[in-house]
Amino acid sequence: MDKNTTSRSDDRAMSNTGANGTGGQGAGGNVTVDGAALWNDILETARFGGTPKGGIRRLTLTEEDRLVRDWFIAACQAVGCTVTYDSMGNQFARRPGTDDSLPPITMGSHLDTQPTGGKFDGIIGVLGGLAVLRALHATGHDTRHPIELINWTNEEGARFAPAMLSSGVFAGVFTEQEALDKTDRAGIRFEDALVGIGYRGTEPCGQHPVAAYFELHIEQGPILEAENKTIGVVTGVQGMRWYEVTLTGRDSHAGSTPMTMRADALLATARMIEAVNEVALAHGPDAVGTVGLIENRPNSRNVVPGEVFFTIDLRDPDDAVVERMEATFRDRAEAIATECGVQMILERVWDSPAVHFDPACIDAVRRTAGSFGYPARDIVSGAGHDAAYMARITPTTMIFVPCAGGLSHNEAESAESADVAAGANVLLRAVLDADARLDA
């Protein structure tokens, strides 16, 4: 049986509601999402960039991205929303409030994926938000604030580094021109790719008002599943830094160059990869270090590699630990470069400090999960999300639901329909709680 098309029936499933949801009290009464329609949306959008292994390859600002954006517009218009997009291609689906002069309560995530991504990372935050809009539309439930759903451009950073690029512009972390000038590995500029798919809007990025922001996401880790919890109440995001490293040695013949006379850039890279792993292990149980991208040149079987480009990702919930990890690795890397006779350029390309979410928004998620009877726990996000940047400018929090084995950024990524619906119900009630509480 395909795990991606079944629902849980164990203790984590909704104790007082079905997948569609009919229980829970608080703001919004008995308004709940249509879990079956939400699941169908997940399966339908998986067609855009679907891979033979059941995953998704939908890199940002590609034809597949354009197609799913077009689908998003049609789906939001079908539930009475108007859809606009700004100068970074961020899409906003708006449902009016009874006082449309108030800034909107917002939900969102992203539609782009990793090169070998799954059906749930990011997109359930968009489709869960669509389920919220659908529920409000179907019941005619009025809110004081406008309610908006956002699709952020280039959250993954798989094509244009760094990650969360457009939400970063929105929050003032990056300038718009800086982001527009980013290039992918083929040298294509972000702005040219954005214009190419027809999604460069006229509203300057960052001039869109927001009153609060909520983001639904799979955990991308194993904790919720291991503890049989349905909802993760996300209190913050750990600190993370990205680096790009270029090592330059000397191309030479593999058969005629003695081992003692080589300047092997790939050998130095291998030793640095091991150093990344050792540095992370030495800095406590929460520290992680990853090398995920390597380009070896000239990449010929009988040539000693003369140049290697690779990336490093360092993370920990404590910014001071990340700082120490960087300093330790730099020392190790410089020593390795000297030993191997190569030149090194090590550049930090992204620094996202640890984030602490809004206590009132966190409490709304915690209370809402309890009102439904969903087993829940507080949790810190190990992955970066657009919410990390939104927290700089507006009250923000996130809602996690389990994913099988904690596996993500993988075509085998899987989640249960009941858990996804539960997360969308918590999102709905948290949004309605904010609507009642803010500007009252």
Partners of 212 in the beta sheet?
105
Give 331-394 as a DSSP string: HHHHHHHHHHT-EEEEEEEEEE--EE--HHHHHHHHHHHHHHT--EEEEEESS--HHHHHTTTS
Predicted TM-score (pTM) of the model is: 0.83
Do 352 and 384 contact (CB within 8 A), yes or no? Answer: yes
**The domain that contains 335 carries what CATH number?**
3.30.70.360
Residue 138: CA count within 13 A, CB half-sphere: 12
Single residue among 305, 320, 352 that ends a domain in this structure:
352
Q: pLDDT truncated to tens, each residue of the chain (440 aa)?
A: 333 433 343 445 433 343 343 333 445 668 999 999 999 999 999 999 999 999 999 999 999 999 999 999 999 999 999 999 999 999 999 999 999 999 999 999 999 999 999 999 999 999 999 999 999 999 999 999 999 999 999 999 999 999 999 999 999 999 999 999 999 999 999 999 999 999 999 999 999 999 999 999 999 999 999 999 999 999 999 999 999 999 999 999 999 999 999 999 999 999 999 999 999 999 999 999 999 999 999 999 999 999 999 999 999 999 999 999 999 999 999 999 999 999 999 999 999 899 999 999 999 999 999 999 999 999 999 888 999 999 999 999 999 999 999 999 999 999 999 999 999 999 999 999 999 999 86
pLDDT at residue 9 in the model: 36
Distance from CA of residue 156 to its chain's centroid? 6
Nearest in space to 289 (alpha carbons), one of 253, 265, 313: 313
Residues marked as binding?
Answer: 110, 121, 156, 217, 409
| Alpha-carbon gap, residue 235 to 248, rounded angstroms | 43
Tokens of 184: 């992918």
Counted domains in the chain: 2
Do 304 and 430 share a domain, yes or no? no
Partners of 172 in the beta sheet?
none
Distance from CA of residue 244 to its chain's centroid? 20
Do 195 and 71 share a domain, yes or no? yes
pLDDT at residue 440 in the model: 62
| Alpha-carbon gap, residue 300 to 298, rounded angstroms | 6
| Alpha-carbon gap, residue 193 to 173, rounded angstroms | 21
Do 148 and 280 share a domain, yes or no? no
Long-range pairs of 43-46 with CB within 8 A, sequence gap ≥ 24: 43/5, 43/119, 44/71, 45/71, 45/111, 45/123, 45/127, 46/119
Do 93 and 133 contact (CB within 8 A), yes or no? Answer: yes
Q: H or E element: which one contains 316?
A: strand 307-316
Single residue among 352, 372, 389 that ends a domain in this structure:
352
Do 402 and 427 share a domain, yes or no? yes
Tokens of 27: 């703001």
Tokens of 161: 């580094």
Do 327 and 203 share a domain, yes or no? no
Do 213 and 328 share a domain, yes or no? no
**The domain that contains 81 carries what CATH number?**
3.40.630.10
Do 385 and 300 share a domain, yes or no? no
Domain containing residue 179: 3-238+354-437
Tokens of 398: 């996130």
SS3 for 244? strand
Do 143 and 282 share a domain, yes or no? no
Do 251 and 305 contact (CB within 8 A), yes or no? Answer: yes
Do 89 and 159 share a domain, yes or no? yes
Single residue among 329, 352, 375 that ends a domain in this structure:
352
Do 288 and 143 share a domain, yes or no? no
Do 265 and 326 share a domain, yes or no? yes
Residues marked as binding for Zn(2+)?
Answer: 110, 121, 156, 217, 409
The set of residues, in sequence order, having a beta carbon less than 8 Å from that of 346 and lying 6+ positions away, is: 243, 244, 245, 330, 333
Which is it for strands 355-356 and 288-290: parallel, antiparallel or unpaired?
unpaired
Which is it for strands 303-304 and 252-253: parallel, antiparallel or unpaired?
antiparallel
Do 161 and 18 share a domain, yes or no? yes
